[in-house]
Chain A
Amino acid sequence: METTQLVKGVLDMAVLAVVASEDGYGYDVVRRLRAAGLEDVGDASVYGTLRRLFNAGALTSYVVPSEEGPHRKYYGINGQGRHMLELQGKTWRSFSATMEDLLTTAEGSR
């Protein structure tokens, strides 16, 4: 199954989860998602998601000047973002449990 389509549906939750563990700038978030196993995640999708979550009030943002070269924009999670992550996590767990049951049943009847 093409994981790209699956990732799209859960990208918000994935990005929130990564930022919740530690603040990060765009490319850093991409790298951590990839390291976690979401290798199909698109760079631009992550940047866009970060911006949308920030505009939705789920993330905070601040600029960190770097010693050399351009500044970096960091994102961190806030209360609203944590609440959103919690809700989406619940939905995901129940959904994945349902899928798991379905698959187990299918395998059992083989």
Chain B
Amino acid sequence: MTETTTHGTMTSASDSAAQVQEYVSAVRAALSDLSLEEVEDLTAGMDADLGELLAERGGTLEIALGSPQAYAAELRSAAGLPAAASPGRRTISLGDWSRAWSERVSVQMQRRPWLAGLLRGLVAIRPAWWVLRGLIAAWAVAGVLGLQAAALVPRDARMLVLSILGVTGSVALARGPQGSAVTRSLVGLGNALAILLLLPAMGSSQPQVVYEGGGDQGPQPVQGLVFDGRLVENIFGYDASGARVTDVRLFDDEGRSIVLSAEIGGQAAWTGRRDVTGERWTNVYPVPWSSGLDPWVRPFRADENPVWQPPVTMPALGPTVGPTVTSPTTGATTAPTRTGSAGSPSVATSTASGTASGPSGVGSTSTSTSSAPTGSRAP
């Protein structure tokens, strides 16, 4: 063997190894858009084989096999892998995309006769879609104009006119001559918009979800307490010191017991608590999740992440800002006895006394009004 590395003649073993190394690296680089596993798979044992090939045929690998890029392309195509993505992102026009899509659909239809039947059925009900699309457009326009358009079915004359216009326009659009690609794209966009608008249109004809009171209100379609659109499953109370409050009974502004939906899991068995007179209260919170379970430990729900757990304590509340509480029932007020420093709580002075000087001092100075309210209601 000679040490001279003229191409096309016999080369030394180390040169051959270097050449193989270089060629394999170049092939791997040309495959670099594939996963590492696939590249490994395709080039495993390649060094050994190319070394053998070089020893047998002589010359260079480029002469024997062509460029590493061509080799990689052939390898890919024979292995059934996609061709290398050309550098730079390919832009696919909407037309190309829809052609490719309809091609795929027709291939699928040949494979699956039922799909062809389904599509024929959909084509057959297309006129119904044109009418519906027109109604949705009318509904959308009515919404923009501020008309009362609660449902898709027209209720007043203006809605009726809009509906007729919408349906006529929609059908005319469908039956008219095929427009340019731009027009067709716009119609496609409009159809998509109509489908999106259909969802709230259907929603608005549903009854509104509102809070309904306890059992004495008679049967109601929706029972329970809704907060921000979600049925409330439990209520956790904390007092001013930040401690948990158990067994608190809740009422609304009309004196109705606030009762949660009976349909929420675990609460169907909740029969409430009896008071000393024997009356049953189902508005006692927090509600046990199911009998025997600690109401302060929320059961795990798979669709929630993360699960909120009511904390053991909350930070205590600060002093109330505002006028000192007065008791209108007795006329007694907290004694406005001035203490030297403004703002310090005057707990000792809050008991009603016969010598109260009247309300004149309350709120008279801005600095002395931040006293904490204490149990100022006279018994």
Contact = CB atoms under 8 A, between A and B. Distances in A.
Interface of A: 11, 25-27, 42-49, 51-52, 55, 63, 66, 69-73
B47 A70 contact: yes
Given A25-B49, A69-B51, A47 B42 contact: yes
B41 interface: yes
Interface string B46-66: 111111110000000000110
A72 B52 CA distance: 11
Given A26-B49, A48-B42, A51-B79, 18 more contacts: A25-B45, A27-B52, A27-B53, A43-B65, A44-B72, A44-B75, A45-B74, A47-B46, A48-B77, A48-B78, A48-B81, A49-B78, A52-B79, A55-B79, A63-B44, A70-B48, A71-B45, A72-B48
Closest 8 CB pairs of A and B: A48-B78, A73-B45, A48-B79, A27-B49, A44-B74, A44-B75, A45-B78, A70-B48
A26 B45 contact: yes
- The listed residue with most B CB atoms (<10 A of its CB), out of A51, A66, A73, is A51
Contacts of B52: 27
21 contacts: A11-B78, A25-B45, A26-B49, A27-B48, A27-B53, A42-B78, A43-B71, A44-B71, A44-B78, A45-B75, A45-B78, A47-B42, A47-B46, A47-B75, A48-B78, A48-B79, A52-B78, A55-B80, A70-B51, A71-B45, A72-B49
Contacts of A63: 44-45
A55 B80 CA distance: 10
Nearest to A29: B49
A69 B48 contact: yes
B37 to A, nearest CB: 12
B45 A70 contact: yes
Interface string B65-94: 100000110111111110000000000000
Contacts of A11: 78
B40 to A, nearest CB: 11
Contacts of B65: 43-44
A48 B41 CA distance: 10
Interface of B: 41-42, 44-53, 64-65, 71-72, 74-81
Nearest to B61: A43
Contacts of A48: 42, 74-81
A27 B46 CA distance: 9
Q: Is the interface of A mostly helix, strand, loop or mixed?
A: helix
A26 B43 CA distance: 10
Contacts of B80: 48, 52, 55
Contact of A46 (B41, B77, B78): B78
Contacts of B45: 25-26, 63, 70-73
Contacts of A26: 45-46, 49
Given A43-B65, A45-B74, A51 B42 contact: yes
Contacts of B53: 27, 43
A39 to B, nearest CB: 13
Contacts of B49: 25-27, 47, 72
A46 B71 CA distance: 11
A49 B79 contact: yes
B309 to A, nearest CB: 49
Nearest to A45: B78
A61 B222 CA distance: 65
- The listed residue with most B CB atoms (<10 A of its CB), out of A45, A48, A73, is A48
A69 B55 CA distance: 13
A73 B78 contact: no
A26 B42 CA distance: 11
A26 B64 CA distance: 16
A51 B74 CA distance: 13
A94 to B, nearest CB: 25
Nearest to A26: B49
A46 B46 CA distance: 12
A52 B77 CA distance: 10
A103 B48 CA distance: 44
A74 to B, nearest CB: 9
A63 B47 CA distance: 13
A28 to B, nearest CB: 8
Contacts of B41: 51
Nearest to B78: A48
B76 to A, nearest CB: 7
A13 B343 CA distance: 97
